[in-house]
Chain A
Amino acid sequence: MNTSNIHSHKVSLRLAITDALVAGLIALVLFGPIVGLVLDGYELRNNMGVAFIFVAIITTGRFFASLFFQSPIGVRFLEKFARGRKVRVTVAQASTNKFKKLLLPAIFLAALSYPVIAHVAPDLLGVFGGKYGITIMILALIYVLLGLGLNIVVGLAGLLDLGYVAFYAIGAYWLTIGYAELGLGFWSVLIISPIFAAGCGAILGFPVLRMHGDYLAIVTLGFGEIIRLVLNNWTSLTRGPNGMSAPDVTFFNMLSFNKRGADNLQPFHEFFGLEYSSSFQFIYIYWLLLIVVFLVLYINHRLVQMPVGRAWEALREDEIACRSLGLNHVLVKLSAFMIGASVGGVAGVFFASYQGFVNPSSFTFLESALIVAIVVLGGLGSALGVTIAAIVLTLLPELLREFSDYRVLMFGILMIVMMIWRPRGLVKPVRPAFESDKEQVKQKA
């Protein structure tokens, strides 16, 4: 509607009024039932006054927006916007920037020292101090892991997987079932979990990966729900909705974090001569998780420059071309699916052990959607962007507790704004550069 007026720089009041009325009508249809009718006990209460206020705001807003976009300034703004949307991928420049090289170790050290500060001086960090703060950070790191894992599947290989939460659940239940049925402890489960989850990824992936695009999305969505329903209904193994408890996390199988010790293990605080605190266990989980996250980041960084990673991205760009170049597309997809699944499995183990308890309600579709949102916001393929998006999306709700009712609304607005303003996510895609000098063919980056 606006773009048609770009060349005749004349403001049409009629157009603005039509735009405003159309927007108002849509708002009325949307807000009428959502805001206007409030479910109160078993009755519907009429709240149409508020709905009409919303509609009025939207109608006037649209009127002025329409006028603005018809003015010369607005037209220029739109043109600039249309140009800015074109994706521009760049090739990395050889960076000898010392600051950049020091940045990563600095972040690692800061992240490493965080729980100590949070434990010793909780007031310094506000919401993020104390045991509660540490658990929030653990959750943030778990989402970083999930984001990185799904990023391989969705961002790199371009396979829209809406059931990623299945592998998260598999990891978590692998810990609790392994403990209950096989007597495995945290450490044995953690070490086997990537392989176990990758195996599950292969079993789930092989039949579905011959599908494309939307079909794949629907099928994976189905798989996610199937796993949740199985966990809910196979009560003899999973105890259904009652959930299962996870084994205690031990200090390298040598010390216990319980106050009195457990399973013939000496208590951690006694051994180190510290005063008992229930935070120690979480600090320990946090550190382990931090190391795992950095390990995954490192492997991810390598993967994208390795033949496998390149094949994933090539597949995302053009599957037909890939096949014509001798790549077996099913195996390439399967490898992405398996590696993504293994990361999700590890995240699940950490989730179960940090909660101490799991039940199927933690693994709903909403969770999958959140992880997809993290990957999309982070910029499909960029590990850095995904990491930032995961941390922001988990910490922001904590900072904005007062607005917790509007969490989903704000989330939606954020998504819409991002899609318009930065459709390729927070971080601009950058390709690795290769030296073109034949004598010294070496990879930079």
Chain B
Amino acid sequence: MDNNAILNVAHLNIKFGGIIALKDINFHVPRASITALIGPNGAGKTTVFNCLTGFYKGGPGSKLTLSSKNKSNNLVEMLGEGFKLQDFINPPAFVKRIYFKMFGGTHLVCRAGLARTFQNNRLFEEMSVVENLLVAQHMSLEKSLLKGVFQTKDYLESQERALDKAHDWLKFFKLDKRANDIAGELPYGEQKRLEIARAMCTSPELLCLDEPAAGLNPAESAELSELIIRLRDEHRISVLIIEHDMHLVMKIADHIVVLNYGEVLFDGTPAEVRNSSKVIDAYLGKE
């Protein structure tokens, strides 16, 4: 286990019925760096994301540790892991388990500092661009009903802070002219950027991007890679990115994990990956 890593994935495995989608995945994401997760279609990349964010539950033995917000978060426990034998002789652990079973879930992973985007855009299409970003800041907004109805000073202040933050990220992603447009009516490239901006509004330390450049033209793709690099350098965000565009991956990644048939095939720097015969075989097919 690497102590400088923001995310440690150990022995992650998952089955769907009889199909083993992931078996014993081990890798880590170093802090403030860009890690790419690549592999052929159906390799299980999106499934890794879904396990990390709790949309799927990893099988027994999976360990996911997110070291963020100055503490070490056990993601599997947060997502409401099943009871273990030792819980029944340890009341505090038992209570904790019940708590996470009832109130745990994906939202806690996000609050712990891991934000993600989706392979197919999942914007709030009928809401405006700013509103999309405000929803992402739900946790830091003043939510008291009475304060909101009477528009007290701290309610308005918290709303203004949220709007400031939203506009900062809109500027960063070059969407500031679009603030009051309906999200579903933006061009595809801008929707992709908006989804990343929305994820950034949750103040994450680790950002997981699922094929952010898919469907973009070369110019947009280059612009996007620029932005991801700036996220790492200016905002010290750790990025885990799934991408098929090898050109982009080789340009921005500090570290590449290659998946194939639900297993880690190779783990190394871009130069190492490029020269690995295993990876080339997996991509081009042997014989």
Contact = CB atoms under 8 A, between A and B. Distances in A.
Interface of A: 87, 89-91, 299, 302-303, 306-308, 310-311, 313-314, 317-318, 320-329, 429, 431-434, 436, 438, 441-443
A165 to B, nearest CB: 25
Contacts of B124: 313-314, 317-318, 321
B182 A90 contact: yes
Contacts of A321: 118, 122-124
Contacts of B202: 325-326
A434 B148 contact: no
Given A314-B135, A436-B179, 7 more contacts: A303-B145, A311-B135, A325-B110, A326-B136, A326-B139, A434-B131, A436-B180
Interface residues of B, number: 47
Interface stretch (B6-14, B84-92, B100-108): B100-108
Contacts of B123: 318, 321
A414 B51 CA distance: 48
B105 A328 contact: yes
A158 B164 CA distance: 29
Q: Which has the most chain B C-beta neighbours within 10 Å: A299, A318, A325, A434?
A: A325
A434 B55 CA distance: 33
B97 to A, nearest CB: 18
A322 B199 CA distance: 11
Interface in B11-65: 53-55
13 contacts: A91-B181, A303-B149, A306-B145, A308-B148, A314-B124, A324-B53, A324-B106, A324-B118, A326-B107, A326-B110, A327-B107, A328-B105, A431-B127
A164 B144 CA distance: 25
A441 B163 contact: yes
A302 B149 contact: yes
Given A303-B148, A434-B163, A434-B179, A429 B126 contact: yes
B148 A325 contact: no
Contacts of A433: 128, 180
Given A322-B135, A326-B202, A307 B107 contact: no
Contact of A314 (B55, B103, B127): B127
B198 interface: yes
A436 B176 contact: yes
Contacts of A87: 126
Contacts of A317: 124-127
Contact of A323 (B103, B105, B160, B199): B105
The 5 closest A-B pairs by CB, nearest first: A326-B110, A306-B148, A321-B122, A317-B124, A323-B106
B122 A438 contact: no
Interface of B: 53-55, 103, 105-107, 110-111, 115-116, 118, 122-128, 130-131, 134-136, 138-139, 141-143, 145, 148-149, 151, 159-160, 163-164, 167, 176, 179-182, 184, 198-199, 202
Contact of B134 (A307, A326, A442): A307
A329 B54 CA distance: 13
Given A321-B118, A436-B179, A310 B131 contact: yes
Nearest to B103: A328
Nearest to B164: A441
B210 to A, nearest CB: 11
Contacts of A306: 143, 145, 148-149
B107 A323 contact: yes
Q: Which has the most chain A C-beta neighbours within 10 Å: B53, B103, B107, B139?
A: B107
A91 B135 contact: no
A441 B160 contact: yes
A311 B179 contact: no
A90 B124 CA distance: 14
B37 to A, nearest CB: 17
Contacts of B53: 324
Contact of B182 (A89, A322, A324, A325): A89
A299 B149 contact: yes
Contacts of A323: 54-55, 105-107, 110
Contacts of B115: 324-325
Contact of A91 (B105, B136, B159, B182): B182
B198 A325 contact: yes
B167 A436 contact: yes
A220 to B, nearest CB: 22
Contacts of B110: 323-326
B145 A308 contact: yes
A307 B141 contact: yes
Q: Which has the most chain A C-beta neighbours within 10 Å: B103, B138, B182?
A: B138
A91 B199 CA distance: 23
Q: Which has the most chain A C-beta neighbours within 10 Å: B53, B123, B126, B164?
A: B126
